């Protein structure tokens, strides 16, 4: 009997879950098509590239789709069981709420494990590949009408290399030519004082020597105590062998943390060097949040069950609205704490973990009352 009941509840949920995940995923893909499909077509992307773009994009939507689809399917299935008095009959037979819903708890745990695996392996690769296809289509169109130095231009690119004590600023950087215009690099001592500055009309990253060289520039030496210039030497072209900052790392540092994959986040954190630096905090919070996001599946189960199996005197829509409201509150709290962690007001680990812990404790307390 218990196994038969588990199979019945599981398959009733699975049918709705499959529909919910298909519909939700379709809506998000249509939303992306509304913003990006026209651009890809206008840039001359062929059918294969467009199909590959959406094939890679689809897995990156799973972390958003999975908890929402799980929530909707649980509310629907448990609400239907409640309206048909099936839960009442099961409880009259001596079964508690956990006994009735243990198949759903198991499913939530499996989905959490699946999401952890996807976040660690498939999703970062797909996120980078979909962005590469999109950027390549744009670059190919730009190369038809622009100089190569203007293709893939990043304006006002900054990078604080605390590990090696260099602060970079460029007016613009061409990703196609690996060439920067209007370059200024400040070299800092261990106390953060400027000891020299390189200013040049143009800077190029040499892929062969793995370093930068600058043209039409000037190197100024400063007294770190007074910050007065002590020497200035002009040059037509000069290699700086110790300037090994990769342009790709600089570009990553200009993106929002939530737009980076797990692999890119790890690469950038390593390049920034000092994990306690304020520049690194948003990316460290992002790294922890990626891992913590999988536990949202457990929270969804813990929230949906108490409200969906509430007593007969309660309007079912009250339980549904409370469930959706709590889930929305979770994302609000998560965003606020992530912002606080990114600004250094909270340790990154706790900024990512506290919303999960707080909501899980609250949901389990509701679950105990329902039991």
Q: Residue 269 domain-assigned?
A: no
Among residues 216, 245, 274, which one ends one of the domains?
245
β-bridge partners, 219: 198, 233
Q: Is 204 helix (H, G, I), strand (E, B) or coil?
A: strand
pLDDT at residue 370 greater than cutoff 80: no
Nearest partner of 181 among 214, 145, 146, 148, judged by Cα: 214
Same domain, 156 and 102: no
For residues 155 and 371, give the distance between their C-alpha atoms in angstroms, rounded to a whole number: 58
Same domain, 14 and 104: yes
Same domain, 13 and 108: yes
Lowest mean pLDDT among 21-30, 208-217, 301-310, 345-354: 301-310
Q: Residue 130 domain-assigned?
A: no
For residues 266 and 264, give the distance between their C-alpha atoms in angstroms, rounded to a whole number: 5
Same domain, 289 and 361: yes
Quick: pLDDT tens for 145-202: 777 767 778 889 999 888 888 999 999 998 877 889 999 999 998 888 899 999 999 9
Tokens standing for 157? 């690119």
Whole-structure pTM value: 0.83
Among residues 215, 245, 275, which one ends one of the domains?
245
Q: Residue 259 domain-assigned?
A: no
Same domain, 222 and 293: no
Quick: pLDDT tens for 60-71: 999 989 988 998
Same domain, 80 and 7: yes
> Residue 64 sits in which domain range?
2-120+283-370
Among residues 219, 245, 271, which one ends one of the domains?
245
Same domain, 167 and 225: yes
Quick: pLDDT tens for 285-326: 999 999 988 888 888 888 888 877 665 445 555 556 666 777
Q: Residue 258 domain-assigned?
A: no
Q: Residue 330 domain-assigned?
A: yes
pLDDT score, position 163: 84
Residue 45 C-alpha from the chain's centroid: 26
pLDDT score, position 368: 74
DSSP assignment string, 210-256: TEEEEEEEEEEEEETTTTEEEEEEEEEEEEETT----HHHHHHHTS-
Q: Look at the chain and report how many structural domains it folds into.
A: 2
The pLDDT mean for the chain works out to: 86
Average pLDDT over residues 83-110: 83
Same domain, 295 and 347: yes
Q: Residue 31 domain-assigned?
A: yes
Quick: pLDDT tens for 7-54: 888 898 999 999 999 999 999 999 999 989 989 999 888 999 999 999
Average pLDDT over residues 101-130: 92
Quick: pLDDT tens for 236-273: 999 999 999 999 999 988 888 888 888 999 888 888 87
Same domain, 91 and 28: yes
Higher pLDDT, 197 or 369: 197
Same domain, 23 and 115: yes
């Amino acid at each position: 009997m218990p196994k038969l009941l588990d199979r019945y509840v599981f398959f009733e949920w699975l049918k709705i879950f499959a529909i919910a995940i298909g519909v939700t995923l379709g809506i998000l893909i249509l939303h992306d098509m509304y913003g990006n499909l026209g651009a890809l077509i206008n840039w001359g992307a062929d059918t294969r590239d467009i199909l590959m773009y959406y094939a890679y994009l689809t897995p990156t939507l799973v972390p958003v789709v999975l908890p929402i689809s799980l929530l909707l399917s649980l509310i629907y299935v448990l609400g239907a069981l409640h309206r048909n008095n099936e839960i009442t009959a099961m409880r009259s037979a001596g079964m508690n709420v956990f006994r009735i819903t243990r198949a759903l708890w198991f499913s939530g745990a499996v989905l959490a494990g699946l999401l952890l695996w996807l976040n660690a392996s498939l999703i970062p690769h797909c996120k980078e590949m979909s962005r590469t296809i999109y950027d390549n289509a744009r670059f190919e169109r730009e190369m038809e009408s622009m100089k190569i130095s203007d293709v893939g231009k990043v304006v006002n690119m900054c990078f604080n290399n605390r590990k090696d004590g260099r602060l970079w600023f460029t007016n613009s950087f061409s990703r196609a030519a690996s060439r920067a215009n209007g370059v200024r690099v400040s070299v800092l001592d261990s106390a953060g004082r400027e000891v020299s500055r390189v200013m040049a009309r143009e800077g190029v990253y040499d892929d062969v020597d793995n370093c930068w060289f600058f043209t039409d520039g000037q190197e100024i030496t400063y007294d770190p105590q007074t910050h007065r210039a002590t020497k200035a030497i002009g040059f037509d072209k000069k290699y700086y062998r110790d300037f090994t900052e990769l342009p790709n790392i600089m570009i990553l540092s200009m993106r929002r943390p939530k737009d980076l994959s797990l692999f890119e986040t790890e690469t950038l954190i390593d390049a920034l060097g000092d994990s306690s630096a304020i520049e690194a905090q948003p990316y460290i919070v992002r790294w922890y949040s990626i891992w913590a996001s999988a536990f949202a599946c457990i929270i969804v189960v813990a929230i949906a069950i108490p409200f969906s199996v509430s007593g007969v005197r309660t309007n079912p829509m009250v339980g549904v609205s409370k469930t959706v409201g709590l889930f929305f509150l979770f994302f609000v709290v998560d965003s606020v704490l992530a912002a606080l962690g990114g600004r250094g007001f909270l340790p990154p680990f706790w900024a990512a973990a506290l919303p999960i812990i707080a909501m899980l404790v609250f949901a389990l307390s509701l679950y105990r009352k329902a039991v």
